[in-house]
Structure 1
Amino acid sequence: METNRLSPTLAQALNDQMTNEAHNAQIYLAYASWAADKGYDGISNFLFRHANEERNHMMKFLEYILKRGGKVVVTAIPAPGPDPVSVNDCFEKVFKSEVENTAKIYDIVNMSMAEKDWATWNFMQWFVKEQTEEETLAMDLLSKIKVAGGENAKDTALYNLDRDMATKPDDATLAQDATVDNP
C-alpha cells in the first residue's frame, strides 16, 4: 500500500529545503569558527548556537518528510563560502543568507497552497514565523553594529558588542507581538 502523501514536487522542495537548512548550519558554523579565531568569543557563541538551531530545522524537515511517507534524500551540502572580513561583513552575510532562506520557505508555502496540501502548508507556518524572527534578529544586530561604527567600528565598540552577544537571546521581538504597552 502506498503511504506517501507528498507530491513529487513538494517532496523535492522539502528535501531541497532540508539540505538548505544543513547548508545554513554550515554557514553559521564557519562564521562562528571565524569569530572564535578572531577572539570574538561572545559572537562565536551566538553563531554556534544558531548553527545548532539550523541543524534542528534540518531535522524538522527530515522528520516531516518521513512522517508524510516521503523519501528523504540526503545530498551534499555546498561549502559555506569565504570567511567574513569583519564583524559587519559577518552579519551582513548572515542577513543575506536568512533573506534567501525566507524566499525558499515562501516558495514551499506557495507550492503547498497551490497543491492544496494543507498539512504541508500548516507545517510551513512555523518556518514562516521563524524566518521573520531570524531576519528581525539579523537586522537588529546590523543596527547595533552600525551604531558601533559599521565597517569602521573601533575595538572598544566591538569588545562591548562581543560581550553583549555572549548573552543575547536567540530570538527577536516580532512586530505582530507589539502592543501599545509593549512596543
Structure 2
Amino acid sequence: MLHKDIEKAINDQIKWEFWSGYLYLSMSSWFASKGLAGFAGWMKNQSGEELFHAMKMFDYVNERGGHAVLQTVDAPPSEWKSVLDALKTGLAHEGEVTARINALVDTAVKHKDHATSNFLQWFVAEQVEEEASFSDVVNKLELVGDGSALYMLDKELATRVFTWPAAADTQA
C-alpha cells in the first residue's frame, strides 16, 4: 500500500508527465508549421514517450492500492524564437523532470518504500537517456546553426521511431 505522501507525489508527477507530452506535442506542431517534418516527428515521438511515462505511473499507483487522480493540465507554450530555442526549452524541461524524479525517489526512501524506490529507478535511468538525447540535438544545432545543415539534421531526426511498448510493459 502506498503512503499518502508518495501517492500524492506520484499523482503530481503523472500530471507533469502529461504536461510534458503536451509541451512536446506543441513543439511538434510548431516545427511542422515551419516545414521541419523531421523535428516535428522527433518531438511527436518524444510526446508519446512522456504519455507512456504518465501511464506507467498511473498503473503503478493503482496497482499498489492507491488512486491515480487526474489533474488539470495547463496549456503549454506554442511559439519559440527559433529551432534552437525550442530544443533548449526541451533540454531545460528534462532537467526539471530529472529533479522531480529524484525528489520522488527521496520521498520513497524517506518512507522506506523499497518497492516504489525500485520502480522509480527505471525513471532515473530513463532521465539520463532523455537529457542525453536533447543535449545531443542541441549540440548539433549549435554546430550547424540555421543554414543548410539544418535541412540535414531535420532529415536525421525524421528517422527516429517510438513504438508503444506492449500493454504488459506498462505495468510496474
Report the TM-score when normalising by structure 1.
0.86
CA RMSD of aligned residues (A): 1.1
Q: Secondary structure at the match of 2:75?
A: coil
Per the TM alignment, residue 79 of structure 1 is displaced from its structure 2 partner at its CA by 1.6
CA distance in 2, matches of 1:43, 1:81: 17
Structure 2 partner of 1:62: 58
Per the TM alignment, residue 162 of structure 1 is displaced from its structure 2 partner at its CA by 0.6
Per the TM alignment, residue 168 of structure 1 is displaced from its structure 2 partner at its CA by 3.9
Per the TM alignment, residue 83 of structure 1 is displaced from its structure 2 partner at its CA by 1.6
Higher radius of gyration, 1 or 2: 1
Tell me whether 1:37 sits opposite 2:33 in the alignment: yes
Structure 2's unaligned 5+ residue stretches are: 163-172
Structure 1's unaligned 5+ residue stretches are: 171-183
1:113-152 → structure 2 map (5 Å cutoff)? 113-149=109-145
Cα shift readout 1:99-118 (whole Å, capped 9, x = no counterpart)? 00000000000110111100
Cα shift readout 1:17-60 (whole Å, capped 9, x = no counterpart)? 00000000000000000000100000101100111111100000
1:29-108 → structure 2 map (5 Å cutoff)? 29-108=25-104
* Contact 2:30-2:78 at 8 Å conserved across structures: no
After the TM superposition, list the runs of 4 or more consecutive aligned residues in structure 1 that deviate by more than 2 angstroms.
none
* Contact 2:21-2:48 at 8 Å conserved across structures: yes
Match 2:150 to one of 124, 137, 158: 158
CA distance in 2, matches of 1:95, 1:132: 12
Report the TM-score when normalising by structure 2.
0.91
Per the TM alignment, residue 84 of structure 1 is displaced from its structure 2 partner at its CA by 1.5
CA distance in 1, matches of 2:161, 2:48: 14
Q: Identity across aligned pairs (percent)?
A: 37
